[in-house]
Structure 1
């Protein structure tokens, strides 16, 4: 289901207003001032780095040559900016303390004239994806000419990170925080990549997402299924093509919600594992000689998650993000599976080495469960749960036939809905058709309200 083009345009306008505000406040000087508040010395230069999806970054250089990074979270790209920064600062501190993954050191964070910011140590290196991507393509995609030795080395490095993230366990699903006594807790909801996308590109009011953490995976998977309903219900434009399309999307969401509580039978009560929605070779910095990881950046949307997310095969093996995949998912698999086999070999090698040196136990292996995740459908279920924009394609191709048998007619699927869902479908369809004909956007927040989120 496409995002709302009018909402995208609004998001871009808000971002441009914010950029102009940043420029009016002399961002190089502002970055230097903020850096000096959190790291001693005299900053002499500040230079803007290439844009990420959610932040604008400046590298600040001191008189002695030391460098730090000042990162402003962009209005129009992130809805709950303050929550996002607080979550990321906490998770970076946790990962630094409890894993071997190299991350920037958080030197300080706060709010300034353009909103929330983080000051952190600067890590040298190029992104891993730069060594793997096809430079002739606009969309980031894996080069078909990449030497197999380099691909194996890259996959091994990524496997090490996934194993490290899979070790810590948590009693709840949600964001990680350290309380005043120094104890790490999970006090609130996870802020996810999908929640931000729905608020940004579908104009879903951010207030509709709950604030609580989750004590079991069944409740959380049901919440994710409900978010797909929010996507269909609240996105006014580009959501449906006609009445039949609307009915099919409504039915798919009802049936997915029906099965959502059964996804995590074996691990419903945890422990839950760290998961980063946006972990990708784009966010992994390596040196130029041996592709050794020098740092991992961009930890937004990282949280304690159902263990099924950790057990599913990585989605980034071709570098492409799900929204850029082939519409023919079978064709995607033709390209994906050979790379997945290579990744599994490297993951198994990494596991064997870590078990030998005592840093991993046999029970902590991921290769077996990841390998089976495509056979059992767990890969597709987790992906569909986290990506509303991909939900319909994945649901009808891989999930519906697995759980409800061979598809015959949409009316046969309608019979599987409960009485309330069947009663409500016609009114829901009429409401969506009316929204589509109006072609407008309902404003959920004023600019001032957005700034404060």
Structure 2
């Protein structure tokens, strides 16, 4: 489903107003003041860093040469900014304590005149994607003629990170937090998003994700459907996906659940220039205890591209993806063998067998469709529907698989979506004051 262009314009406007406010407050000076709250010494210099999608970042240098990063969470890019910062701080502390993944040390967090922020040590290194991407292309994609030695070294670093993150086990699905007693808890998912704070089984969670696709279709007013036929097909796809969602997780439905980062990719991995050895992993805000299936599915980032940048002809995508996936599997198996030999990994903790099967069983596509709305319909009709419901002939044939209530609602949904599309209006679910305070 395409992005709502009016919602995007509104978000961009809010972001620009927030950015002007940041600039009026002399961001380099502000970054130095914020840094001094959490690290002793005198900041003498602050310089902007490359920004991600959700943050504006500054590197602050102290008089003793120590460097830290101050990250201001951008208004207009994130709704629940305070929760985002709190979640990321907690997960970075957890990863640092319980895994070997190198993460910047969090020095502190809080709120300032422009909103929530994090202060952390500066991690040396350059983005791994910079050594892999095709130059001079707007969309980040893997270099077509990349040296295989370079690619294998890069994949080895990513494999080591994945294996480390897969080791911790959790009793619930949800955000990971440190409570007042020093115990790690697994809740704090906002009530406005989920029907409950955490999930003790994957079936409920996958069903909740399937409901989110319904909410998305119903609540996005613009650019959601092109015509009545498109709306009918999207509605049926979401009904049938919800119907099968409780059966996605069978072997691991009751856990244990695994640490998973939705945004883990070479863009967020820092390496040294000589060996491409990992020096730090950043951007942990979308990390949580998740169904084991997410960990066992093949990585989506092997071509560097985000799912929304894939071609809609997924057969063409697979032509490019599968050779790189086979290379990654070889590297992952090599990495696992070394770790088993040195005692840092058990046979039961291997991921390669499950990842290989995920392409054969369709788990890769199911997990991707569960988490990503942008390519949901293409993925569903190409790889999921025929696997569960047999060869596809016509949309009308799938109507019989819907419940009586779902069939009764379809005309109402279509009428509603056509009316929304004709009105071309934007409905804000939050006031500016609410966005600032969240």
TM-score w.r.t. length of structure 2: 0.99
CA-to-aligned-CA distance 1:197-251 (integer Å, 9 cap, x gap): xxxxxxxxx9354451111100100010011001100000011111111111000
Partner of 1:313: 298
Q: How does 1:116-131 map onto structure 2 within 5 Å?
A: 116-131=116-131
Distance 2:267 2:68 in 1: 20
Report if aligned partners of 1:218, 1:268 keep a CA contact under 8 Å in 2.
Answer: yes
How far has the Cα of 1:188 moved from its partner? 2.6
How far has the Cα of 1:445 moved from its partner? 1.3
Partner of 1:20: 20
How far has the Cα of 1:287 moved from its partner? 0.6
Counterpart of 2:355 (choices 370, 387, 410) is 370
Report if aligned partners of 1:95, 1:101 keep a CA contact under 8 Å in 2.
Answer: yes
SS for the counterpart of 2:402 is coil
Counterpart of 1:245 (choices 206, 230, 249) is 230
Partner of 1:215: 200
Distance 2:322 2:146 in 1: 16
SS for the counterpart of 1:240 is coil
Distance 2:194 2:81 in 1: 15
SS for the counterpart of 1:188 is coil
Partner of 1:83: 83
Report if aligned partners of 1:59, 1:69 keep a CA contact under 8 Å in 2.
Answer: yes
Partner of 2:5: 5
Matched, 1:235 2:223: no
Distance 2:196 2:57 in 1: 29
- Segments of structure 1 that go 5 or more residues without pairing to the other structure are 192-205
Matched, 1:382 2:375: no
How far has the Cα of 1:4 moved from its partner? 0.4
Partner of 1:354: 339
How far has the Cα of 1:187 moved from its partner? 2.4
Partner of 1:335: 320
SS for the counterpart of 1:215 is coil
After the TM superposition, which parts of structure 1 deviate over 2 Å for at least 4 consecutive aligned residues? Answer: 206-211
Report if aligned partners of 1:188, 1:211 keep a CA contact under 8 Å in 2.
Answer: no
How far has the Cα of 1:137 moved from its partner? 1.1
SS for the counterpart of 1:79 is coil
SS for the counterpart of 2:302 is coil
Counterpart of 1:396 (choices 381, 392, 396) is 381
Q: How does 1:112-191 map onto structure 2 within 5 Å?
A: 112-189=112-189
Partner of 1:452: 437
Partner of 1:406: 391
In the comparison of the two structures, how many residue pairs are matched?
A: 438
Matched, 1:106 2:106: yes
Report if aligned partners of 1:69, 1:121 keep a CA contact under 8 Å in 2.
Answer: yes
Matched, 1:424 2:419: no
- Segments of structure 2 that go 5 or more residues without pairing to the other structure are none
SS for the counterpart of 1:136 is coil
SS for the counterpart of 1:118 is strand
Partner of 1:275: 260
Q: Indicate the RMSD between aligned Cα atoms, in angstroms.
A: 0.9
Distance 1:29 1:210 in 2: 42
SS for the counterpart of 1:273 is strand
Distance 1:164 1:78 in 2: 28
Distance 1:185 1:352 in 2: 33
How far has the Cα of 1:345 moved from its partner? 0.5
Distance 1:188 1:217 in 2: 17
CA-to-aligned-CA distance 1:345-391 (integer Å, 9 cap, x gap): 00000000110111110011000000010110000000000001110
Report if aligned partners of 1:236, 1:432 keep a CA contact under 8 Å in 2.
Answer: yes
How far has the Cα of 1:136 moved from its partner? 2.1
TM-score w.r.t. length of structure 1: 0.96
Q: Would the alpha carbon gap of residues 363 and 208 (structure 1) be closer, same or farther in structure 2, given more than 3 Å must change?
A: closer
Distance 1:181 1:82 in 2: 22
